[in-house]
Amino acid sequence: MSFFGKLFGGRSDGSSKQEQKVTTSMAIQKLQDTEEMLMKRKEHLEGLIKEQENIIKVNGTKNKKVALTALKKKKRLDKQLEIVEDTMATLDNQRESLENANTNTEVLKNMATAARALKAVHSDMDTDKVEDLMDEVREQQQIAEEIVGVITERSGQQLDDEELLKELEEMEQEELDRKLLNVGSIPAVTPEPVKDASPSSKLKDPEEDELEALKQWAA
């Protein structure tokens, strides 16, 4: 840094270079700002061109000098508009390239971070340790399956005993019901048929007695 720079509190070359360092995000933002400025310029030129077209239409047959001047100006404006549109297309391509580069950079950074993390995780592991761990896991799983098998077998036996006891109780209840029915039943009495009264047991009519007496007297 020069003497006058130091005297007036100028910044060092290192800090200036650090400030002049442009990041990808800053470059993208600057391109977007430039595109917005060019878009406004484009709209302004299109408005001027439309004005010149109106002048040409109005003075085309009446005042050829004015119409010719307007046509020349329109040609210049068309050229400027073409330059602006080409510049906007170039800036758009640059912005897309920067955005893609920025995305790729972030992806690579994340991949590098993941690789370092994976390396740190695997630093305390090797094939032998993994095999020993898997053998231990399989052994514990086998023990757990055996325990479950024993519990299931006992549960099945208990369930069978309960079913047998239930069936026995049902049989005893059926036998008890049958005995109660036999004790409480009353023999059915068959009513004797009513015999018809004999003719002799019937009461005789007095007229029949008189007829019988006359028959005996006549004999």
8-61 confidence digits (pLDDT tens): 445 555 544 444 467 888 888 999 999 999 999 999 999 999 999 999 888 877
DSSP string covering 91-122: HHHHHHHHHHHHHHHHHHHHHHHHHHHHHHHH
Q: What is the pLDDT of residue 195?
A: 52
Q: Using one digit for the tens of pLDDT, what is the confidence trace for 72-90? A: 999 999 999 999 999 999 9
Task: Tell me what the pLDDT averaged over the chain comes to.
Answer: 78
Q: Using one digit for the tens of pLDDT, what is the confidence trace for 125-134? A: 778 878 888 8
- What sign results for the dihedral spanned by CA atoms 107, 113, 115, 117? negative
What distance in Å separates the CA atoms of residue 57 and residue 74, rounded to the nearest whole number? 13
Residue among 32, 39, 41, 40 nearest 80 (CA): 41
Per the model's pLDDT, the better-predicted residue between 188 and 145 turns out to be: 145
The reported pTM is 0.44
- What is the average pLDDT across 62-66? 86
Q: Using one digit for the tens of pLDDT, what is the confidence trace for 103-123? A: 898 899 999 999 998 888 878
Where are the chain's structural domains? 25-124, 127-178
Q: Using one digit for the tens of pLDDT, what is the confidence trace for 152-163? A: 766 555 556 677
Domain 25-124 CATH superfamily: ESAT-6-like (1.10.287.1060)
- Give me 151's structure tokens: 């519990």
C-alpha distances in Å from residue 210, one per residue of 132, 205, 213: 137, 9, 5
